[in-house]
């Protein structure tokens, strides 16, 4: 028996929303790690800063991408 198309769409949006939340958590964790390092007065290496900033950028991209999927492309940069 075939799946209902609306059920498939709901499942895809649910998965995309969970991925969005996961990316958000990862971005917040990287930000919190940088804040904690500053609060502790540690000397921050360029490698540490670059790694955390890259993690934030990658995860924010994932958030935007998943938000765009959930909204069926309504917020696409090309739209």
Dig out the tokens for 61 from the structure: 């991209």
> What was the pLDDT predicted at 79?
52
User: Would you write out the chain's pLDDT as a tens digit for each of its 79 residues?
Assistant: 567 888 999 999 999 999 999 999 999 999 999 999 999 999 999 999 999 999 999 999 999 999 999 998 887 776 5
Dig out the tokens for 3 from the structure: 């799946």
CA distance 56 to 4: 37
**Which stretches does DSSP call E strand in the chain?**
none
**pTM, 2 dp:** 0.84
Q: Where are the domains of the chain?
A: 5-70
**Residue 30: how many CB atoms within 10 A of its CB?**
19
């Amino acid at each position: 028996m075939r799946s209902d198309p609306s059920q498939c769409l709901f499942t895809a949006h649910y998965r995309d929303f969970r991925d969005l939340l996961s990316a958000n958590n990862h971005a917040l964790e990287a930000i919190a790690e940088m804040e904690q390092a500053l609060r502790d007065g540690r000397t921050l290496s360029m490698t540490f800063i670059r790694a955390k900033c890259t993690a934030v950028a990658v995860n924010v991209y994932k958030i935007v991408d998943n938000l765009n999927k959930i909204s069926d492309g309504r917020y696409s940069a090309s739209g």
